[in-house]
Amino acid sequence: MPTKKQLSAISLALAAVAVGLLFVAPAIAQTGPSVTDEGVENNFPDGMVFRMSASSDAVIEDVRLRYKVLPDGTAANGVPDFDPATTVHTEFILGGTDVYLPPGTVVEYHWEVTDASGATAETAEQTFFYDDVRFEWQTVEGENVTIYYYSGSEGDAQDMHAVALESLAEMTALVDIVEIPFPVQVWIYDSTDDMRDALQRRSESYESQVITAGVRVATNTVLVLGNASFDTLRHELTHVVTAEAGESALGTLPAWLDEGTAVYGQDDPGGFKSAVDRAIDRGNVLSVREISAYPGDPEKVGLFYGQGWSLVSYLVDTYGEPKFGNLFAIIKAGNRIDDALETVYGFDQDGLEDEWREANDLPPRETPEPAPQDSDAPSSASQDDDDGGSDIATILIIALVILALAGGIAALGITIARRL
């Protein structure tokens, strides 16, 4: 049995330990910020909601969602609204009316917070797949291509997948690139009403007048209307290929080359060929420079696509595929279309038009003649000189008048001063 003195010593020791723990506890408590990823909510087509919570000893002053939209991987920051405090719960909405995000968008993201002491914390990198949650999607996939569908048969989807692989192989060979370096997605919608919410939002008048059969909505994503729309699929996948082969931060494809190649990628140009054939027969084709941009007149759209197809066909059939592929590479490197054409073929857009018109039995394009000049009339240079001389003389006269007036006012001022 311990003595009373020993018990007293033990009590003092335990008290000391307890006091020590009181002082140690703050040292082992939270000394910096911590942040938790609370997940993502898919609100298609109104975007996605990223949520987080964080806490720290010091006031949390900065919260950021750092994200990339794949496959392009352009880094961006999302800054949510929140009240600075030691504990924060907030969210950030990406997409919706402000930013268009198509189905199939993959976002790579993490949260990062900073408190008043300058200490930071971040969550682990995550990815989120933004799909159209209105429908029960099924897939056919393989060889870097995925077909998403919710209606029709699996056989139709298999056929679309086979056409996609064939088209990508043919078009990459045409523009001389090895392969598409990212997975390609094809989303097949059953009706225009179903697809409308998946498209970039336009005015009501536009949506009521225009039916979109297919569109490339992202670097790696196309939307197609109908389960067996094989030529629409070929057209849109060709846009995926032409963008990879010819588009960059430095170079941009002219509209006639981009859309003309896409129609060339179809099995059948259909009504586009009919439109350009009619225009050739009537002699009212468009100039190549006129179709370097998309036409604003709806009545010219069919001819625009048809003439683009005819120009591309002429280049490929006359000069071969290797030169055609080289044209895309030179544009991608940052050269304008006229310079690229000169480098590859030895003519610019006007020269291309001259050759194409001749090949289609059209008369030479009309070029504006310079306005005639009267030999007795002074040249523009002499007129400019005369005008300049007249202006200088006028300025000198005005200056002399101002000086004379100033002298008179000064003399009058001196006289008044003397009298005073």
Q: Where are the alpha helices (DSSP H) in 175-229?
A: 192-196, 204-209
Determine the pLDDT at residue 34. 96
Confirm if 196 and 182 have CB atoms less than 8 A apart. no
CA–CA distance, 348 with 339 (Å, rounded to integer): 7
Specify the residue for token string 């909601």. Answer: 49
pLDDT at 369: 58
C-alpha span between 28 and 23 (Å, rounded)? 10
Burial class (CB in 10 A: 0-12, 13-18, 19+), 316: middle
Per-residue model confidence (pLDDT) at position 212: 81
Class of domain 134-246 as given by CATH: alpha beta
| pLDDT tens digit at each of 420 positions of the chain | 556 555 455 555 555 545 454 444 444 555 789 999 999 999 999 999 999 999 999 999 999 999 999 998 889 999 999 999 999 999 999 998 888 999 999 999 999 999 999 999 999 999 999 999 999 999 999 999 999 999 999 999 999 999 999 999 999 999 999 999 999 999 999 999 999 999 987 655 555 555 688 999 999 999 999 988 999 999 999 999 999 999 999 989 999 999 999 999 999 999 999 999 999 999 999 999 999 999 988 889 999 999 999 999 999 999 999 999 999 999 999 999 999 999 999 999 999 999 999 999 999 988 765 555 544 433 333 334 344 444 444 444 444 444 444 444 444 333 333 332
User: From the CB of residue 399, how many other CB atoms can be counted at a distance below 10 Å?
Assistant: 10
| 234-292 pLDDT, tens digit each | 999 999 999 999 999 998 999 999 999 999 999 999 999 999 999 999 999 999 999 99
Q: What are phi and psi of 119, to 5 degrees?
A: -75, 145
Answer for the pair 54, 29: CB distance below 8 angstroms, yes or no.
Answer: no
Greatest alpha-carbon pair distance for the chain in Å reads: 136
CB 286 within 8 A of CB 300: yes
The superfamily in CATH containing domain 34-130 is Immunoglobulins (2.60.40.10)
Helix 255-264 vs helix 230-246: crossing angle, to nearest 10: 140
Left, alpha or beta for 34 (phi > 0: left; psi -120 to 50: alpha)? Answer: beta
pTM recorded for the entire structure: 0.78
Q: Where are the domains of the chain?
A: 34-130, 134-246, 251-366
Angle at 53 between CA 51 and CA 57, to 5 degrees: 160
State how far Cα 350 lies from the chain centre. 29
Name the 3-class secondary structure at 408. Answer: helix
